[in-house]
Structure 1
Amino acid sequence: MRRTVILVEGESDRAALHAAAARRGEEPPARIEVLHGITNLAKALAAHAGDRVVVLFDGDERARVARAIERAPTTPIAAIACERDLEDELIRALGADGVLAVIAAEGDLPAWRALRGQPFHRGRPVDEVLHRFMGSIGGRKLRYARALVEALRPGAIPRPLVDALAAAR
């Protein structure tokens, strides 16, 4: 029996897909497998030979994904790239003010202000510092993936998440 699986780079990607499905009033995909890094894609594609596979990945990994697909025994039904990465997609979709409202709701404004006050980050674009903030402490990407998606209107969910869910249906 052919199963459908979405392969994602990290746990935060899986959390965002589940939250996006819920936000859109859809059932989450039955199977989302975390690769723990795109370098494991070739092995995962081999393990899913014969399955319907969707790959969601960071834009700067296009060449690596293409090489893995070339060597794979099966071709994914969709390989969907985020422009930069999922955090960037979510920050753009919600806007800096929206992300800061989520950070406030999560009780992380003191940590945000501390990062923003560091000499390197003074004067840098807010969206760049927000991107750094998401990855600055272990577990923060995972925590915020769900919170940022839940703060979005259903029609504002980033295209890569929508496309991955649609391809898996």
Structure 2
Amino acid sequence: MRAGVRKVVLLEGVSDIAAVTAAAAAQQLELDDVELVDLGGVTNVQRELLELTHARSEFEILGLCDAPEVRFVEHALREVGCAVRDPSDLAGYGFFVCQADLEEELIRALGATQTVHVIEQLGLGQKLATMRQQPAWQDRPLPEQLHRFCGVASGRKELLAGALSAALDPEHLPDPLLQLVDRIAAA
């Protein structure tokens, strides 16, 4: 860990890091004393939490997780001595929960039409149109198609998470992301 880090943020993957970085930049929040950690999947949260708590340094540990995976975070927090009873306790320990996942939260906050606009601005409009015409996807709701499109190609999830987050006004960020950024900004 870098010297001078005051907050460590545990994130499921690089797309979450891209979204948090873009949201922080939109609020002109410097991340020099914040370390954003790519867990490589939420199942690694316990290992990382144990390592961080044994480091005995003066920093706050924060994070994001998806509702379907809160059990991993709850268990990990219990293992390091936190009195977590259920998901409603997580925010008190600095972990904020996305309903499905962060990409779904970003699409919902931005709206389907504006999400398509961002995708087109990135030069991916034709790829989206092609996917939407596939028989397996053509009858599905647009937000569902957009969510699938975000994660279907290597690197696209990271690119779109950052771009969608950057496209939102700070006051319109999804609640879990806004709460996390506010907590990062707090002294």
**TM-score class, shorter:** over 0.9
Matching residue of 1:18: 21
1:2–1:96 CA distance, 2 compared to 1 (3 A): closer
Match for 2:34 among 30, 33, 42? 30
8 Å contact 1:5–1:53 — kept in the other structure? yes
8 Å contact 1:58–1:84 — kept in the other structure? yes
2:170, 2:73 → 1: CA distance? Answer: 29
Aligned residue type for 2:129: R
Q: 5+ residue gaps in structure 2?
A: 84-91
Give the match's secondary structure for 2:96.
strand
Deviation readout 1:52-90 (Å, 9 max, x if unpaired):
111211111011211111112568831111111010011
Quote the RMSD (CA, aligned, Å).
1.8
Match for 1:47 among 40, 44, 51? 51
Matching residue of 1:80: 96
Match for 1:8 among 2, 7, 11? 11
Paired residues in the alignment total 169
2:100, 2:126 → 1: CA distance? Answer: 27
| 2:64 corresponds to 1:56 | yes
1:30, 1:3 → 2: CA distance? Answer: 6
1:102–1:2 CA distance, 2 compared to 1 (3 A): closer
1:43–1:73 CA distance, 2 compared to 1 (3 A): farther
1:110, 1:60 → 2: CA distance? Answer: 32
Identify which range, 83-92 or 60-69, moves more after superposition.
60-69
8 Å contact 1:17–1:161 — kept in the other structure? yes
Match for 2:75 among 52, 67, 82? 67
Identify which range, 91-100 or 47-56, moves more after superposition.
47-56
Matching residue of 1:123: 139
Measured after TM superposition, the shift of residue 92 of structure 1 is 0.4
Poorly superposed stretches of 4+, deviation over 6 Å: none
Q: 5+ residue gaps in structure 1?
A: none
Aligned residue type for 1:17: V
Identify which range, 159-168 or 90-99, moves more after superposition.
159-168
Name the TM-score, length of structure 2 as normaliser. 0.84
Identify which range, 55-64 or 122-131, moves more after superposition.
55-64
Name the TM-score, length of structure 1 as normaliser. 0.93
2:71, 2:34 → 1: CA distance? Answer: 28
1:153, 1:55 → 2: CA distance? Answer: 21
